[in-house]
Copies of this chain bind each other. A is one copy, B any other.
Amino acid sequence: MYRSHNCGELRIADVGKEVTLSGWVQRIKNRGVLNWVVVRDRYGTTQLVFDEERSASDLLEQSKTLGREFVIQAEGKVIERESKTKSMATGDIEILVTKLTVLNAAETPPFTIEDETDGGDDIRMKYRYLDIRRNPVKNSLIFRHKVAMEVRKYLSNQDFIEVETPYLIKSTPEGARDFVVPSRMNEGQFYALPQSPQTFKQLLMVGGMDKYFQIVKCFRDEDLRADRQPEFTQIDCEMAFVEQEDILNTFEGLTRHLLKEVNGVEVDKFPRVLYDDAMRLYGNDKPDIRFGMEFGELNKVAQHKEFNVFNKAELVVGIAVPGANTFTRKEIDKLIDWVRRPQVGALGMVYVRCNEDGTFKSSVDKFYDQDDLAKWAEKTGAKAGDLICVLSGKKDKTRAQLSALRMELAERLGLRKPDEFAPLWVIDFPLLEWDEESERYHAMHHPFTSPKPGQLALLATNPGDVKANAYDLVLNGNEIGGGSIRIHDKETQALMFDYLGFTPEEAKAQFGFLMDAFQYGAPPHGGLAFGLDRLVAILGGQETIRDFIAFPKNNSGRDVMIDAPATIDNEQLKELNLKLDL
């Protein structure tokens, strides 16, 4: 038996007990005649004490041979600590050690195992197993487990069945790039790793499983943007005999449950925002609504003067930045530089100071009088003390630019509070989106998404106007889930593939099994998938997902700890009937 207790559980009530603890050496305070050693495990830390008076003399000497991160076992008696500390949960007691065993010595770790470490990102990735010892990472992984368990319990209690779908499936040209797996037994053929279990969950609905979920790894071979991983985890869900309303209620229930159980936060019914409204009010289909700063469109009140920049713009739009009237001229100039960065891409920014005395001072005073600016303030909801920032240009671009500025300012002003949660549904997404490059429409969600009832005919005349039974769940400016009511009859699905440019042969080759399945009694169905990595990060109050993944890959898709991917034997290649072609 290596331990009688863990390192986080002993309290003043345990004084007098003989205990055995095992763990890692966190700290050593050597005072010559006294030596304190703090031992750590997953559950906490406990102070061990060795002293000249009360310990056998060789034991005190032995304790001095310990180093950081040594794995030790200590037997001894729980005693009350003289100088109690609130900084440790066990801070009322310490262990007067009677026997000390070194279970494994340790080299000095390449970075300190402390909450605030001295290790950079790269070294911590290489020695991830050491990074996991640090509380911020360890607690993130435990938090992730807790979230996943609560998801499973909630859905299971609601009659959802977790069904495992296959990982070795078939490559489809639609969507992102697949990872493929050469088959040795089927020469010249490849499996693909799933980008999502989409078709399988639909087949489970055809199969009568009624309510399905799965927490499942998915794979996309895309060039990695920051904070994206080639393998990621989804909470994948599907329900039969449901309308959009049923799905929104079910997963609003799940999200509310998580916020309550995991964060102790109660939230009201989630607002539902039309996609068009989200774009108009926030320039974004995943708005952060923890703070206001809604867009005010100014065309009507800004295009009647001689200011040509605005007059020729498709959209003039502004936001009121609360309390930002105090920004210095220099700060505002920097803000203008910021919106001009290529990543944002605005040509410039007009601003209006809303003075405390009710007057306005703008960068375009040459063109606009106080009455004009008062109207701008009204449209953007600006109050005395605010700063109005105005951008103009092509509608979509300008909205995106102002959205970026809105998020940046909210961040700087501390309005994006990690412990505040503002979920909402964005609904009525367009069915199709125009792709400039291929000059055709693509499915905005995926080709299985159903159009709004009665809008099928519009596809022929105004495809861009057709709305879908598609919805996203947005939390604090992040899309944490998205889904749709699916097409469930063969004819509509064939029509959709046709609109998306598939020939009947291509559609049959790729999705024949799904269309076949639709002939044998497919129920109305729909679903949604959450991105677990992001969901957990946001619930954990973090912006980045990396600490919530035990062994993440870097931006080149490499696992630098195990050094993967790697070359393989020629023999392995030969067995797979492959040759490198570099």
Using a CB–CB distance below 8 Å, which chain A residues touch chain B? 1-3, 6, 22, 24, 40-43, 69-71, 103-107, 109, 127-133, 138, 141-142, 144-145, 148-149, 152-153, 156, 161-171, 173, 177-193, 199-200, 203-204, 206-211, 217, 219, 221, 223-224, 230-231, 233, 241-243, 246, 488-489, 513, 517-524, 549-551, 553, 556-559, 561-569, 572-582
Known: A184-B177, A188-B580, A199-B562. A130 touches B162 (CB 8 A): no
Q: Is the CB of A567 within 8 A of B190?
A: yes
Give 10 CB contacts A-B under 8 Å: A103-B523, A107-B520, A129-B203, A130-B207, A142-B161, A165-B551, A192-B564, A513-B562, A578-B579, A579-B579
Q: Which 8 A-B pairs have the closest CB atoms?
A: A132-B207, A106-B521, A170-B564, A189-B565, A2-B241, A42-B210, A183-B565, A69-B521
A162 → B minimal CB distance (Å): 5
CA–CA, A189 and B186, complex, Å: 22
Known: A127-B520, A557-B183. A170 touches B223 (CB 8 A): no
A212 → B minimal CB distance (Å): 9
CA–CA, A523 and B187, complex, Å: 45
Q: Is the CB of A161 within 8 A of B182?
A: no
A106, A191, A193, A242, most chain B CB atoms within 10 A: A191
Query: Out of B2, B142, B185, which one reaches A556, CB within 8 Å?
Result: B185
Q: Is the CB of A129 within 8 A of B22?
A: no
A148, A171, A513, most chain B CB atoms within 10 A: A513
A235 → B minimal CB distance (Å): 12
In the complex, which residues of chain B have a beta carbon less than 8 angstroms from the beta carbon of A242?
2
In the complex, which residues of chain B have a beta carbon less than 8 angstroms from the beta carbon of A163?
141, 144-145, 550
In the complex, which residues of chain B have a beta carbon less than 8 angstroms from the beta carbon of A243?
1-2
A36 → B minimal CB distance (Å): 19
Q: Is the CB of B207 within 8 A of A521?
A: no
In the complex, which residues of chain B have a beta carbon less than 8 angstroms from the beta carbon of A153?
153
In the complex, which residues of chain B have a beta carbon less than 8 angstroms from the beta carbon of A70?
521
Known: A1-B243, A523-B22. A133 touches B551 (CB 8 A): no
Query: Out of B104, B178, B578, which one reaches A489, CB within 8 Å?
Result: B104
Q: Is the CB of A564 within 8 A of B180?
A: no
Known: A168-B231, A578-B578. A241 touches B22 (CB 8 A): yes
Q: Is the CB of B164 within 8 A of A156?
A: no
A25 → B minimal CB distance (Å): 8
Given contacts A24-B523, A132-B207, A179-B181, 10 further A-B contacts (CB under 8 A): A104-B518, A104-B522, A132-B209, A145-B161, A166-B553, A170-B566, A187-B582, A190-B566, A190-B567, A513-B562
Q: Is the CB of A204 within 8 A of B129?
A: yes
A68 closest partner in B (C-beta): B521
Q: Is the CB of B219 within 8 A of A520?
A: no
Q: Is the CB of A219 within 8 A of B167?
A: yes
A457 → B minimal CB distance (Å): 21
Query: Out of B168, B189, B193, which one reaches A553, CB within 8 Å?
Result: B168
In the complex, which residues of chain B have a beta carbon less than 8 angstroms from the beta carbon of A144?
163-164
In the complex, which residues of chain B have a beta carbon less than 8 angstroms from the beta carbon of A184?
177, 221
A42, A233, A517, A556, most chain B CB atoms within 10 A: A42
In the complex, which residues of chain B have a beta carbon less than 8 angstroms from the beta carbon of A553?
166, 168
Known: A130-B520, A138-B209, A164-B549. A241 touches B3 (CB 8 A): yes
Query: Out of B43, B129, B149, which one reaches A206, CB within 8 Å?
Result: B129
Q: Is the CB of B164 within 8 A of A208?
A: no
In the complex, which residues of chain B have a beta carbon less than 8 angstroms from the beta carbon of A105?
521
Q: Is the CB of B578 within 8 A of A168?
A: no
A202 → B minimal CB distance (Å): 9
In the complex, which residues of chain B have a beta carbon less than 8 angstroms from the beta carbon of A233?
164
In the complex, which residues of chain B have a beta carbon less than 8 angstroms from the beta carbon of A132?
204, 207-209
In the complex, which residues of chain B have a beta carbon less than 8 angstroms from the beta carbon of A519?
106-107
In the complex, which residues of chain B have a beta carbon less than 8 angstroms from the beta carbon of A107?
519-520
Known: A71-B523, A188-B580. A207 touches B22 (CB 8 A): no
A162, A165, A200, most chain B CB atoms within 10 A: A162
